[in-house]
Structure 1
Amino acid sequence: MTAARRLDGRRAIVTGAARGIGRAIAERFAAEGASVAVLDLDADAARATAHEIGARAFPVDLADHDAARAAVAGAAEALGGLDVLVNNAGVLRLGPLLEITADEWDLVQRVNARSMLSTTQAAAPVMIAAGAGRIVNLASMAAKSGGANEAAYAASKAAVVALTRATALELGPHGITANALCPGYILTDMGAATRTDDDVARWSARSPLGRLGDPADVAGAALFLASDDGAYLTGQALNVTGGMIMH
Protein backbone atom coordinates (compact mmCIF):
# COMPACT_ATOMS: atom_id res chain seq x y z
CA MET A 1 0.00 0.00 0.00
CA THR A 2 1.14 3.53 -0.76
CA ALA A 3 1.07 5.93 2.18
CA ALA A 4 -1.14 8.98 1.68
CA ARG A 5 0.73 12.18 1.01
CA ARG A 6 0.09 14.97 3.49
CA LEU A 7 -1.12 17.54 0.97
CA ASP A 8 -2.95 15.36 -1.52
CA GLY A 9 -5.57 17.43 -3.32
CA ARG A 10 -4.45 20.73 -1.78
CA ARG A 11 -3.75 23.82 -3.87
CA ALA A 12 -0.89 26.04 -2.74
CA ILE A 13 0.71 29.32 -3.69
CA VAL A 14 4.31 29.95 -2.62
CA THR A 15 5.83 33.38 -3.16
CA GLY A 16 9.53 33.92 -3.72
CA ALA A 17 9.66 30.28 -4.72
CA ALA A 18 12.21 30.38 -7.52
CA ARG A 19 15.11 29.56 -5.19
CA GLY A 20 16.21 29.16 -1.59
CA ILE A 21 13.66 28.57 1.15
CA GLY A 22 10.71 29.28 -1.14
CA ARG A 23 11.84 26.69 -3.65
CA ALA A 24 12.38 24.12 -0.90
CA ILE A 25 8.85 24.72 0.37
CA ALA A 26 7.30 24.54 -3.10
CA GLU A 27 9.24 21.38 -3.89
CA ARG A 28 8.23 19.72 -0.61
CA PHE A 29 4.59 20.66 -1.08
CA ALA A 30 4.57 19.25 -4.61
CA ALA A 31 6.19 16.03 -3.39
CA GLU A 32 3.45 15.77 -0.76
CA GLY A 33 0.73 15.92 -3.41
CA ALA A 34 -0.14 19.61 -3.65
CA SER A 35 -0.78 21.49 -6.86
CA VAL A 36 1.62 24.42 -6.55
CA ALA A 37 1.88 27.89 -8.06
CA VAL A 38 5.32 29.51 -7.96
CA LEU A 39 5.28 33.32 -7.70
CA ASP A 40 8.56 35.19 -8.12
CA LEU A 41 10.05 38.37 -9.54
CA ASP A 42 12.61 36.37 -11.54
CA ALA A 43 10.49 35.08 -14.40
CA ASP A 44 13.07 32.72 -15.88
CA ALA A 45 13.97 31.16 -12.52
CA ALA A 46 10.29 30.83 -11.60
CA ARG A 47 9.55 28.99 -14.83
CA ALA A 48 12.59 26.73 -14.39
CA THR A 49 11.62 25.82 -10.82
CA ALA A 50 8.00 25.24 -11.79
CA HIS A 51 9.08 22.96 -14.65
CA GLU A 52 11.38 20.96 -12.40
CA ILE A 53 8.84 20.34 -9.63
CA GLY A 54 5.68 20.07 -11.75
CA ALA A 55 4.20 23.42 -10.73
CA ARG A 56 2.92 26.55 -12.48
CA ALA A 57 4.87 29.80 -12.68
CA PHE A 58 3.47 33.30 -12.21
CA PRO A 59 6.13 36.02 -12.55
CA VAL A 60 5.21 39.07 -10.49
CA ASP A 61 6.69 42.03 -8.66
CA LEU A 62 5.19 41.57 -5.22
CA ALA A 63 6.20 45.09 -4.23
CA ASP A 64 3.45 46.25 -6.60
CA HIS A 65 0.22 45.97 -4.60
CA ASP A 66 -2.13 45.61 -7.57
CA ALA A 67 0.16 43.19 -9.41
CA ALA A 68 0.53 41.02 -6.30
CA ARG A 69 -3.21 40.76 -5.82
CA ALA A 70 -3.77 40.01 -9.50
CA ALA A 71 -1.11 37.28 -9.52
CA VAL A 72 -2.63 35.54 -6.51
CA ALA A 73 -6.12 35.75 -7.99
CA GLY A 74 -4.85 34.38 -11.30
CA ALA A 75 -2.94 31.56 -9.64
CA ALA A 76 -5.92 30.57 -7.50
CA GLU A 77 -8.13 30.50 -10.58
CA ALA A 78 -5.60 28.39 -12.48
CA LEU A 79 -5.33 25.95 -9.58
CA GLY A 80 -9.10 25.69 -9.28
CA GLY A 81 -9.10 27.11 -5.76
CA LEU A 82 -6.68 27.79 -2.95
CA ASP A 83 -5.99 25.93 0.28
CA VAL A 84 -2.54 27.19 1.30
CA LEU A 85 -0.74 30.51 0.90
CA VAL A 86 2.93 30.68 1.82
CA ASN A 87 4.27 34.22 1.88
CA ASN A 88 8.01 33.71 1.58
CA ALA A 89 9.28 36.46 -0.73
CA GLY A 90 11.70 38.87 0.90
CA VAL A 91 14.77 41.04 0.49
CA LEU A 92 17.71 41.67 2.80
CA ARG A 93 19.36 45.07 3.14
CA LEU A 94 22.12 45.51 5.71
CA GLY A 95 23.62 48.77 6.85
CA PRO A 96 24.11 51.10 9.81
CA LEU A 97 20.96 52.57 11.31
CA LEU A 98 22.10 56.14 10.67
CA GLU A 99 22.81 55.46 6.99
CA ILE A 100 19.53 53.83 5.91
CA THR A 101 17.83 55.87 3.22
CA ALA A 102 14.09 56.35 3.02
CA ASP A 103 14.02 54.52 -0.30
CA GLU A 104 15.88 51.51 1.12
CA TRP A 105 13.58 51.40 4.13
CA ASP A 106 10.45 51.63 1.98
CA LEU A 107 11.62 48.88 -0.40
CA VAL A 108 12.25 46.44 2.44
CA GLN A 109 8.86 47.16 4.02
CA ARG A 110 7.03 46.84 0.67
CA VAL A 111 8.55 43.50 -0.22
CA ASN A 112 8.86 41.89 3.20
CA ALA A 113 5.67 43.09 4.87
CA ARG A 114 3.23 44.93 2.62
CA SER A 115 3.37 42.23 -0.05
CA MET A 116 1.93 39.80 2.51
CA LEU A 117 -1.00 42.11 3.08
CA SER A 118 -1.55 42.29 -0.69
CA THR A 119 -1.44 38.53 -1.23
CA THR A 120 -3.55 37.79 1.83
CA GLN A 121 -6.22 40.24 0.70
CA ALA A 122 -6.45 38.36 -2.59
CA ALA A 123 -6.25 34.86 -1.12
CA ALA A 124 -8.57 35.23 1.85
CA PRO A 125 -11.86 35.61 -0.07
CA VAL A 126 -11.17 32.34 -1.90
CA MET A 127 -10.46 30.57 1.39
CA ILE A 128 -13.44 32.16 3.13
CA ALA A 129 -15.73 30.88 0.37
CA ALA A 130 -14.31 27.38 0.92
CA GLY A 131 -14.59 27.61 4.70
CA ALA A 132 -10.95 26.71 5.34
CA GLY A 133 -7.38 27.68 4.56
CA ARG A 134 -3.80 27.88 5.76
CA ILE A 135 -1.58 30.97 5.63
CA VAL A 136 2.13 30.67 6.46
CA ASN A 137 4.17 33.86 6.60
CA LEU A 138 7.96 33.81 6.63
CA ALA A 139 9.28 36.16 9.29
CA SER A 140 12.76 35.78 10.79
CA MET A 141 14.71 35.32 13.98
CA ALA A 142 15.44 39.03 13.51
CA ALA A 143 11.80 39.77 14.38
CA LYS A 144 12.52 38.64 17.94
CA SER A 145 16.20 39.42 18.38
CA GLY A 146 16.76 42.45 16.16
CA GLY A 147 20.39 42.94 15.18
CA ALA A 148 22.91 45.63 14.46
CA ASN A 149 22.85 46.72 10.80
CA GLU A 150 19.47 45.00 10.37
CA ALA A 151 17.09 47.81 11.32
CA ALA A 152 14.98 47.82 8.15
CA TYR A 153 14.98 44.04 7.83
CA ALA A 154 14.22 43.36 11.51
CA ALA A 155 11.44 45.94 11.54
CA SER A 156 9.84 44.41 8.46
CA LYS A 157 9.94 40.92 9.96
CA ALA A 158 8.48 42.12 13.26
CA ALA A 159 5.68 43.60 11.17
CA VAL A 160 5.15 40.16 9.61
CA VAL A 161 4.66 38.62 13.05
CA ALA A 162 2.15 41.32 14.03
CA LEU A 163 0.32 40.99 10.70
CA THR A 164 0.13 37.23 11.20
CA ARG A 165 -1.51 37.62 14.61
CA ALA A 166 -4.08 40.07 13.26
CA THR A 167 -4.76 37.72 10.34
CA ALA A 168 -5.26 34.79 12.72
CA LEU A 169 -7.78 36.74 14.79
CA GLU A 170 -9.78 38.06 11.85
CA LEU A 171 -9.80 34.97 9.64
CA GLY A 172 -10.00 32.26 12.32
CA PRO A 173 -13.82 32.37 12.42
CA HIS A 174 -13.75 31.36 8.74
CA GLY A 175 -11.68 28.24 9.41
CA ILE A 176 -8.41 29.84 8.29
CA THR A 177 -5.21 29.54 10.29
CA ALA A 178 -2.33 32.01 10.02
CA ASN A 179 1.13 31.37 11.43
CA ALA A 180 4.60 32.78 11.00
CA LEU A 181 7.90 30.96 10.77
CA CYS A 182 11.00 32.64 12.18
CA PRO A 183 14.05 31.02 10.58
CA GLY A 184 17.49 31.66 11.97
CA TYR A 185 20.66 31.44 9.93
CA ILE A 186 19.69 29.42 6.86
CA LEU A 187 22.30 28.80 4.19
CA THR A 188 20.77 30.26 1.02
CA ASP A 189 21.83 32.68 -1.71
CA MET A 190 20.48 35.58 0.37
CA GLY A 191 23.43 37.13 2.15
CA ALA A 192 25.95 34.82 0.49
CA ALA A 193 27.90 37.75 -0.96
CA THR A 194 28.74 39.04 2.51
CA ARG A 195 28.97 35.70 4.37
CA THR A 196 32.43 34.39 5.31
CA ASP A 197 33.60 31.03 6.67
CA ASP A 198 34.28 32.74 9.99
CA ASP A 199 30.69 34.02 10.02
CA VAL A 200 29.35 30.51 9.47
CA ALA A 201 31.50 29.11 12.28
CA ARG A 202 30.49 31.89 14.68
CA TRP A 203 26.79 31.56 13.90
CA SER A 204 26.89 27.77 14.14
CA ALA A 205 28.33 28.04 17.64
CA ARG A 206 25.17 29.88 18.75
CA SER A 207 23.03 26.78 18.15
CA PRO A 208 22.92 23.95 20.68
CA LEU A 209 22.83 21.68 17.62
CA GLY A 210 26.10 23.16 16.37
CA ARG A 211 24.97 23.85 12.82
CA LEU A 212 23.15 26.32 10.65
CA GLY A 213 19.81 25.59 9.07
CA ASP A 214 19.06 24.23 5.64
CA PRO A 215 16.08 25.28 3.48
CA ALA A 216 14.68 21.77 4.03
CA ASP A 217 14.42 22.49 7.77
CA VAL A 218 12.10 25.42 7.06
CA ALA A 219 10.17 23.47 4.42
CA GLY A 220 9.40 20.76 6.96
CA ALA A 221 7.97 23.30 9.41
CA ALA A 222 5.90 24.91 6.64
CA LEU A 223 4.56 21.50 5.66
CA PHE A 224 3.47 20.85 9.24
CA LEU A 225 1.55 24.13 9.40
CA ALA A 226 -0.04 23.56 5.99
CA SER A 227 -1.11 20.00 6.77
CA ASP A 228 -3.89 18.64 8.99
CA ASP A 229 -1.33 18.20 11.77
CA GLY A 230 -1.17 21.98 12.21
CA ALA A 231 -4.94 22.50 12.33
CA TYR A 232 -5.04 23.84 15.90
CA LEU A 233 -2.12 26.24 15.66
CA THR A 234 -2.83 29.81 14.71
CA GLY A 235 -1.33 33.20 15.48
CA GLN A 236 2.01 31.63 16.33
CA ALA A 237 5.55 32.72 15.44
CA LEU A 238 7.47 29.44 15.40
CA ASN A 239 11.24 29.49 15.69
CA VAL A 240 13.25 27.45 13.19
CA THR A 241 16.57 28.51 14.66
CA GLY A 242 18.28 25.41 16.00
CA GLY A 243 17.74 26.77 19.49
CA MET A 244 19.37 30.16 18.89
CA ILE A 245 16.08 31.81 19.89
CA MET A 246 13.75 30.04 22.33
CA HIS A 247 10.96 32.54 22.96
Structure 2
Amino acid sequence: MNDPLVTATGRLAGKRVVVTGGARGIGGAIAGRFASEGASVAILDRLVDEGSRLAVALGGSFHSVDLVDPVDTMAATEAAIAGLGGIDILVNSAGILRLLPLLEVTVADWNEMFSINTRAMLSTMQVAARWMIAAGDGGKIINLASMAAKKGGAGEGHYAASKAAVVALTRVAALEWGEHGIVANSLCPGYVLTDMGAATRTDDDVKTWSSYSPLGRLGEPSDVAGVALFLASQDANYLTGQAINVTGGMVMH
Protein backbone atom coordinates (compact mmCIF):
# COMPACT_ATOMS: atom_id res chain seq x y z
CA MET A 1 0.00 0.00 0.00
CA ASN A 2 2.99 2.31 -0.36
CA ASP A 3 2.40 3.02 -4.03
CA PRO A 4 2.02 6.77 -4.68
CA LEU A 5 -1.24 6.07 -6.53
CA VAL A 6 -2.86 4.96 -3.28
CA THR A 7 -3.69 7.28 -0.39
CA ALA A 8 -5.02 6.51 3.06
CA THR A 9 -7.33 9.50 2.92
CA GLY A 10 -9.68 10.82 0.30
CA ARG A 11 -13.32 10.90 -0.72
CA LEU A 12 -13.51 7.10 -0.66
CA ALA A 13 -11.25 6.40 2.30
CA GLY A 14 -12.00 2.98 3.75
CA LYS A 15 -14.46 2.02 1.01
CA ARG A 16 -14.32 -1.45 -0.51
CA VAL A 17 -14.81 -1.48 -4.26
CA VAL A 18 -15.20 -4.16 -6.93
CA VAL A 19 -14.65 -3.09 -10.55
CA THR A 20 -15.47 -5.46 -13.39
CA GLY A 21 -13.55 -4.80 -16.61
CA GLY A 22 -11.07 -2.93 -14.46
CA ALA A 23 -7.86 -4.02 -16.19
CA ARG A 24 -7.75 -1.10 -18.61
CA GLY A 25 -9.79 1.53 -20.41
CA ILE A 26 -12.65 3.18 -18.55
CA GLY A 27 -12.70 0.47 -15.89
CA GLY A 28 -8.98 0.83 -15.30
CA ALA A 29 -9.30 4.60 -15.00
CA ILE A 30 -12.12 4.19 -12.47
CA ALA A 31 -10.12 1.65 -10.45
CA GLY A 32 -7.13 3.99 -10.39
CA ARG A 33 -9.17 7.07 -9.49
CA PHE A 34 -11.00 5.28 -6.70
CA ALA A 35 -7.76 3.90 -5.25
CA SER A 36 -6.23 7.38 -5.33
CA GLU A 37 -9.17 8.51 -3.20
CA GLY A 38 -8.45 5.91 -0.53
CA ALA A 39 -10.58 2.94 -1.64
CA SER A 40 -9.52 -0.70 -1.51
CA VAL A 41 -10.10 -2.05 -5.02
CA ALA A 42 -10.64 -5.55 -6.37
CA ILE A 43 -10.44 -5.86 -10.16
CA LEU A 44 -12.35 -8.51 -12.12
CA ASP A 45 -11.31 -9.06 -15.73
CA ARG A 46 -10.34 -11.68 -18.29
CA LEU A 47 -7.07 -9.80 -19.01
CA VAL A 48 -4.90 -11.49 -16.43
CA ASP A 49 -1.55 -9.79 -17.08
CA GLU A 50 -2.89 -6.26 -17.38
CA GLY A 51 -5.35 -6.65 -14.54
CA SER A 52 -2.76 -8.17 -12.22
CA ARG A 53 -0.25 -5.39 -12.91
CA LEU A 54 -2.78 -2.68 -12.22
CA ALA A 55 -4.03 -4.37 -9.08
CA VAL A 56 -0.47 -4.55 -7.73
CA ALA A 57 0.11 -0.88 -8.58
CA LEU A 58 -3.06 0.07 -6.71
CA GLY A 59 -2.39 -2.15 -3.73
CA GLY A 60 -5.53 -4.10 -4.57
CA SER A 61 -6.44 -7.58 -5.76
CA PHE A 62 -7.14 -9.18 -9.12
CA HIS A 63 -9.62 -11.93 -9.93
CA SER A 64 -9.77 -13.61 -13.33
CA VAL A 65 -13.31 -14.05 -14.63
CA ASP A 66 -15.17 -15.30 -17.68
CA LEU A 67 -18.28 -13.14 -17.78
CA VAL A 68 -19.91 -15.38 -20.35
CA ASP A 69 -20.07 -18.08 -17.66
CA PRO A 70 -22.62 -17.15 -14.96
CA VAL A 71 -21.19 -19.61 -12.44
CA ASP A 72 -17.67 -18.22 -12.85
CA THR A 73 -19.00 -14.67 -12.72
CA MET A 74 -20.75 -15.18 -9.41
CA ALA A 75 -17.86 -17.14 -7.93
CA ALA A 76 -15.30 -14.48 -8.88
CA THR A 77 -17.51 -11.75 -7.47
CA GLU A 78 -17.96 -13.66 -4.22
CA ALA A 79 -14.20 -14.19 -3.96
CA ALA A 80 -13.45 -10.53 -4.60
CA ILE A 81 -15.93 -9.32 -2.00
CA ALA A 82 -14.81 -11.89 0.57
CA GLY A 83 -11.22 -10.80 0.03
CA LEU A 84 -12.21 -7.20 0.74
CA GLY A 85 -14.17 -8.23 3.81
CA GLY A 86 -17.37 -6.82 2.32
CA ILE A 87 -18.38 -4.33 -0.34
CA ASP A 88 -19.44 -0.69 -0.38
CA ILE A 89 -19.30 0.06 -4.11
CA LEU A 90 -19.77 -2.09 -7.21
CA VAL A 91 -18.72 -0.74 -10.59
CA ASN A 92 -19.73 -2.78 -13.63
CA SER A 93 -17.52 -1.57 -16.46
CA ALA A 94 -16.93 -4.75 -18.45
CA GLY A 95 -18.45 -4.89 -21.91
CA ILE A 96 -17.94 -5.65 -25.56
CA LEU A 97 -18.74 -3.78 -28.77
CA ARG A 98 -19.56 -5.46 -32.06
CA LEU A 99 -20.86 -3.58 -35.10
CA LEU A 100 -23.16 -5.52 -37.42
CA PRO A 101 -26.14 -4.68 -39.63
CA LEU A 102 -29.38 -5.97 -38.11
CA LEU A 103 -29.86 -8.48 -40.91
CA GLU A 104 -26.50 -10.05 -40.06
CA VAL A 105 -26.97 -10.35 -36.29
CA THR A 106 -27.22 -14.01 -35.37
CA VAL A 107 -28.70 -15.53 -32.23
CA ALA A 108 -25.15 -16.33 -31.12
CA ASP A 109 -24.12 -12.69 -31.64
CA TRP A 110 -27.11 -11.49 -29.66
CA ASN A 111 -26.58 -13.94 -26.81
CA GLU A 112 -22.87 -13.14 -26.48
CA MET A 113 -23.58 -9.41 -26.36
CA PHE A 114 -26.26 -9.74 -23.70
CA SER A 115 -24.33 -12.35 -21.72
CA ILE A 116 -21.40 -10.00 -21.19
CA ASN A 117 -22.99 -6.55 -21.31
CA THR A 118 -26.14 -7.24 -19.32
CA ARG A 119 -26.58 -10.73 -17.86
CA ALA A 120 -23.15 -10.73 -16.19
CA MET A 121 -24.05 -7.36 -14.68
CA LEU A 122 -27.17 -8.86 -13.12
CA SER A 123 -25.06 -11.64 -11.58
CA THR A 124 -22.50 -9.30 -10.02
CA MET A 125 -25.29 -7.03 -8.77
CA GLN A 126 -27.10 -9.92 -7.12
CA VAL A 127 -23.97 -11.04 -5.30
CA ALA A 128 -23.03 -7.52 -4.22
CA ALA A 129 -26.55 -6.59 -3.14
CA ARG A 130 -26.85 -9.65 -0.93
CA TRP A 131 -23.63 -8.66 0.84
CA MET A 132 -24.77 -5.04 1.15
CA ILE A 133 -28.20 -5.98 2.50
CA ALA A 134 -26.71 -8.42 5.02
CA ALA A 135 -24.27 -5.78 6.27
CA GLY A 136 -27.06 -3.23 6.64
CA ASP A 137 -24.91 -0.26 5.62
CA GLY A 138 -26.30 0.37 2.15
CA GLY A 139 -24.01 0.75 -0.84
CA LYS A 140 -23.46 2.14 -4.31
CA ILE A 141 -23.86 0.42 -7.68
CA ILE A 142 -22.55 2.10 -10.82
CA ASN A 143 -23.25 0.41 -14.14
CA LEU A 144 -21.60 1.45 -17.40
CA ALA A 145 -24.17 1.73 -20.16
CA SER A 146 -23.50 3.86 -23.24
CA MET A 147 -24.73 6.79 -25.28
CA ALA A 148 -26.01 4.04 -27.58
CA ALA A 149 -28.67 3.23 -24.95
CA LYS A 150 -30.32 6.54 -25.82
CA LYS A 151 -29.04 7.14 -29.33
CA GLY A 152 -28.19 3.85 -30.96
CA GLY A 153 -26.58 4.19 -34.37
CA ALA A 154 -26.70 2.05 -37.49
CA GLY A 155 -24.81 -1.18 -36.98
CA GLU A 156 -25.27 -0.99 -33.19
CA GLY A 157 -28.51 -2.95 -32.94
CA HIS A 158 -27.58 -5.67 -30.46
CA TYR A 159 -25.04 -3.43 -28.70
CA ALA A 160 -27.51 -0.56 -28.23
CA ALA A 161 -30.20 -2.97 -27.06
CA SER A 162 -27.86 -4.46 -24.45
CA LYS A 163 -26.95 -1.02 -23.14
CA ALA A 164 -30.58 0.09 -23.02
CA ALA A 165 -31.17 -3.04 -20.95
CA VAL A 166 -28.41 -1.91 -18.57
CA VAL A 167 -30.27 1.37 -18.00
CA ALA A 168 -33.53 -0.48 -17.33
CA LEU A 169 -31.85 -3.02 -15.05
CA THR A 170 -30.25 -0.23 -13.04
CA ARG A 171 -33.55 1.56 -12.55
CA VAL A 172 -35.18 -1.61 -11.25
CA ALA A 173 -32.27 -2.13 -8.83
CA ALA A 174 -32.75 1.43 -7.56
CA LEU A 175 -36.46 0.76 -6.99
CA GLU A 176 -36.11 -2.63 -5.33
CA TRP A 177 -33.02 -2.05 -3.20
CA GLY A 178 -33.51 1.57 -2.17
CA GLU A 179 -35.18 0.50 1.06
CA HIS A 180 -31.86 -1.09 2.02
CA GLY A 181 -29.95 2.14 1.46
CA ILE A 182 -28.52 0.96 -1.87
CA VAL A 183 -28.39 3.52 -4.66
CA ALA A 184 -27.90 2.46 -8.27
CA ASN A 185 -27.07 4.62 -11.27
CA SER A 186 -25.82 4.07 -14.79
CA LEU A 187 -23.35 6.07 -16.84
CA CYS A 188 -23.80 6.63 -20.57
CA PRO A 189 -20.42 7.57 -22.06
CA GLY A 190 -20.17 8.82 -25.61
CA TYR A 191 -17.12 8.36 -27.81
CA VAL A 192 -14.22 7.65 -25.46
CA LEU A 193 -10.68 7.00 -26.65
CA THR A 194 -9.82 3.54 -25.31
CA ASP A 195 -8.20 0.39 -26.66
CA MET A 196 -11.65 -0.85 -27.67
CA GLY A 197 -12.02 0.04 -31.33
CA ALA A 198 -8.51 1.48 -31.64
CA ALA A 199 -7.60 -0.93 -34.42
CA THR A 200 -10.43 0.24 -36.65
CA ARG A 201 -10.80 3.98 -36.00
CA THR A 202 -8.90 6.47 -38.17
CA ASP A 203 -7.80 10.05 -37.64
CA ASP A 204 -10.70 11.12 -39.85
CA ASP A 205 -13.08 9.15 -37.62
CA VAL A 206 -11.78 10.94 -34.54
CA LYS A 207 -12.14 14.32 -36.26
CA THR A 208 -15.69 13.57 -37.36
CA TRP A 209 -16.81 12.22 -33.99
CA SER A 210 -15.20 15.15 -32.19
CA SER A 211 -17.35 17.52 -34.25
CA TYR A 212 -20.47 16.01 -32.65
CA SER A 213 -19.53 17.53 -29.29
CA PRO A 214 -19.90 21.25 -28.51
CA LEU A 215 -16.55 20.87 -26.73
CA GLY A 216 -14.90 19.73 -29.95
CA ARG A 217 -13.20 16.65 -28.55
CA LEU A 218 -13.76 13.04 -27.65
CA GLY A 219 -13.87 11.78 -24.12
CA GLU A 220 -11.00 10.31 -22.14
CA PRO A 221 -11.36 7.50 -19.61
CA SER A 222 -10.58 10.06 -16.91
CA ASP A 223 -13.70 12.04 -17.87
CA VAL A 224 -15.89 9.04 -17.08
CA ALA A 225 -13.88 8.15 -13.96
CA GLY A 226 -14.50 11.62 -12.54
CA VAL A 227 -18.27 11.26 -12.83
CA ALA A 228 -18.09 7.74 -11.40
CA LEU A 229 -16.18 9.14 -8.42
CA PHE A 230 -18.96 11.64 -7.81
CA LEU A 231 -21.57 8.87 -7.90
CA ALA A 232 -19.51 6.77 -5.49
CA SER A 233 -19.06 9.65 -3.05
CA GLN A 234 -21.38 10.90 -0.32
CA ASP A 235 -22.27 13.85 -2.55
CA ALA A 236 -24.47 11.51 -4.60
CA ASN A 237 -26.27 9.78 -1.74
CA TYR A 238 -29.66 11.11 -2.89
CA LEU A 239 -29.15 10.30 -6.56
CA THR A 240 -30.51 6.95 -7.72
CA GLY A 241 -32.04 5.32 -10.78
CA GLN A 242 -30.43 7.81 -13.14
CA ALA A 243 -28.73 7.28 -16.51
CA ILE A 244 -26.16 10.07 -16.64
CA ASN A 245 -24.72 11.20 -19.95
CA VAL A 246 -20.95 11.64 -20.17
CA THR A 247 -20.94 12.60 -23.83
CA GLY A 248 -19.47 16.08 -24.09
CA GLY A 249 -22.93 17.32 -25.03
CA MET A 250 -23.52 14.81 -27.84
CA VAL A 251 -26.66 13.75 -25.94
CA MET A 252 -28.46 16.28 -23.76
CA HIS A 253 -31.43 14.44 -22.34
When normalised by structure 2's length, the TM-score is: 0.95
Tell me the distance in 2 between the aligned counterparts of 1:54 and 1:207. 37
The answer to which of 70-79 and 132-141 deviates more is 70-79
Indicate which of 25, 36, 39 corresponds to 1:34.
Answer: 39
SS at match of 2:96: coil
RMSD: 1.2
1:64 is displaced (CA, Å) by: 1.0
Q: Which residue pairs with 1:245 in the alignment?
A: 251
Q: Which residue pairs with 2:179 in the alignment?
A: 173
For residues 38-93 of structure 1, give each alpha carbon's deviation from its aligned partner in whole angstroms, at most 9, with x where no partner exists.
00011122111111222100000112111111111111110011000000000010
Cα distance 1:37–1:97, how it changes in 2: closer, same or farther (>3 A)? Answer: same
1:36 is displaced (CA, Å) by: 0.3
Q: Which residue pairs with 1:75 in the alignment?
A: 80
Tell me the distance in 2 between the aligned counterparts of 1:3 and 1:49. 18
Partner amino acid, structure 1, of 2:144: L
Indicate which of 170, 194, 206 corresponds to 1:164.
Answer: 170
Tell me the distance in 2 between the aligned counterparts of 1:38 and 1:159. 24
Tell me the distance in 1 between the aligned counterparts of 2:58 and 2:225. 14
Report matched runs for 1:40-79 at 5 Å: 40-79=45-84
2:8–2:38 contact (8 Å) kept in structure 1: no
Q: Which residue pairs with 2:238 in the alignment?
A: 232
Partner amino acid, structure 2, of 1:229: D
1:76–1:82 contact (8 Å) kept in structure 2: yes
Tell me the distance in 2 between the aligned counterparts of 1:3 and 1:36. 13
SS at match of 1:244: coil
Percent of paired sites with the same residue: 65
Tell me the distance in 2 between the aligned counterparts of 1:63 and 1:235. 26
For residues 116-164 of structure 1, give each alpha carbon's deviation from its aligned partner in whole angstroms, at most 9, with x where no partner exists.
1010111101111222100000000000001100111100000000000
**Structure 1 runs of 4+ with >4 Å offset:** none
**Residues paired across the two proteins, number:** 246
The answer to whether residue 144 in structure 2 is matched with residue 125 in structure 1 is: no
The answer to whether residue 243 in structure 2 is matched with residue 210 in structure 1 is: no
Indicate which of 112, 116, 121 corresponds to 2:121.
Answer: 116
Tell me the distance in 2 between the aligned counterparts of 1:130 and 1:241. 35
When normalised by structure 1's length, the TM-score is: 0.98
1:184 is displaced (CA, Å) by: 0.2
Indicate which of 6, 12, 20 corresponds to 2:17.
Answer: 12
Q: Which residue pairs with 2:108 in the alignment?
A: 103
For residues 94-120 of structure 1, give each alpha carbon's deviation from its aligned partner in whole angstroms, at most 9, with x where no partner exists.
011111111111101100000110101
Q: Which residue pairs with 1:84 in the alignment?
A: 89
